[in-house]
Amino acid sequence: MHLRFGLAIAVIAGGALGAAVLLPASARTTAEDKKLSEMKRSAARLRPTITAQPPMAPPLPVRKTAKAAPVPPVPDTWTEAELQEAKAQCATAMKGLDVDLTFEAPIKEGLCGNPAPIRLARLGKVTFTPAALVNCGLLRPLDSWIRNDVQPAAKRQLGATITTIEVMSDYSCRTAFGRVGRRLSQHAYVDALDIRGFVTATGKKVHVLESWGATKRDIVAAAKAKAKQDEAKQAAEQQTAELDKDAFRTTTTRAVDGEQTAGKVEKKSRAAANAARLGGPGGSPPPVKKAEVLPVDKTTEPAKLSPAAVGLPPVNADGRFLREAHAAACRIFGTTLGPEANEAHRNHFHVDMAQRRIRNICD
């Protein structure tokens, strides 16, 4: 049975193969072409459609914005280490000084203040009125300035020693010159002192406002004002001179015209007299001399300021003392300001111990 089944399959396969072999060549070619065309259409349907795109610029890198570093909050109080260090510095500064002071409570107002402020009432033989609120860093500079410079200058110029320093201001939590938007003043660190004036052992008061004398600003302003006055005066004098010359010209012209008229009359009279005397015309009068007209003077230029006109004027003994004290302070303190600095300091000296990289400020 199995043999008969195999023979049947072989007969069928052979018949099919024989049928294929018996097909003509043109029929086989047409079938292959149809099959190939069908395959191409299938491939075309499966192929993706590509559309032309415009050129594109590469994407820009993402910009990273730097974040500002967080500002650490200002502590409300001084640390124990800061307090101990400030007290140690005060102990060192006070060593060997004859000083009367009182320790105040630590001051902390944001960035302003000091961990060990003191109320300075007396330094050596000089009393501070009212007692000044400063830090210990000012003790030795003040002592050196008073002993080595202020007292000798007072003896030379005033004939007496200084017993009192009048204080205008001390600690103040503010910006420099009291303006908003600028760095803090040294006053904010309890590191500055404003001095209104001095009092001698004889009771004489020497105040900066009244005794400093004219500043360079005052001298220059006065010189400019005087120059303007001189120019105005010269202009007025020139105008008056021109008016006088115009009047002189008018008078002179009238005089000449009068003389000419008189000459003509006289000439006619003489001609008539000669005609009568000689029995006919004859004789000529002498020529009349005309008055000379003076030329106009050229305008003179205003006098220029001489270098001496801008120099500092001589000052009295009080002024000389203040200027010596100011000049000496410039050698000791980090900042020394006085009337020459600006109008804000016309009435006092400002001294502080700000650290300077190059040189002290002296104005």
**Of the candidates 195, 223, 187, 192, which has an alpha carbon nearest to the alpha carbon of residue 211?**
195
pLDDT band at 80 (very low <50, low <70, confident <90, very high): very high
CA pair distance 123, 97, nearest whole angstrom = 8
Q: Which of 68-72, 124-128, 288-292, 311-315 has the lowest mean pLDDT?
A: 288-292
CA distance 53 to 59: 16
The structure tokens listed for 250 are 């008018």
The pLDDT of residue 204: 97
pTM for the full predicted model: 0.62
pLDDT per residue as tens digits for the range 141-171: 999 999 999 999 999 999 999 999 999 999 9
Distance separating alpha carbons of residues 145 and 165, to the nearest angstrom: 12
Tell me the mean pLDDT in the region 304-315.
Answer: 50
Predicted confidence at residue 49, as pLDDT, reads 60
pLDDT at 76: 85
Distance of CA 188 to the CA centre of its chain: 22
The better pLDDT of the pair 267, 38 is held by: 38
Tokens 């003790």 belong to: 139
Separation of CA 132 from chain center: 32
Side chain identity at 134, as an amino acid letter? V
Q: Which range, 9-23, 226-240, 289-303, 341-355, is most confident?
A: 341-355
CB within 8 Å of 218: residues ≥ 6 apart: none
Tens of pLDDT along 87-111?
A: 999 999 999 999 999 999 999 999 9
* Kind of pairing between the strands at 107-109 and 99-103: unpaired
> What is the dihedral sign for C-alpha 230, 231, 234, 239?
negative
**CA 284 – CA 271 distance, rounded (Å):** 7
- Domain residue extents for the chain: 80-213+324-362, 214-277+303-313
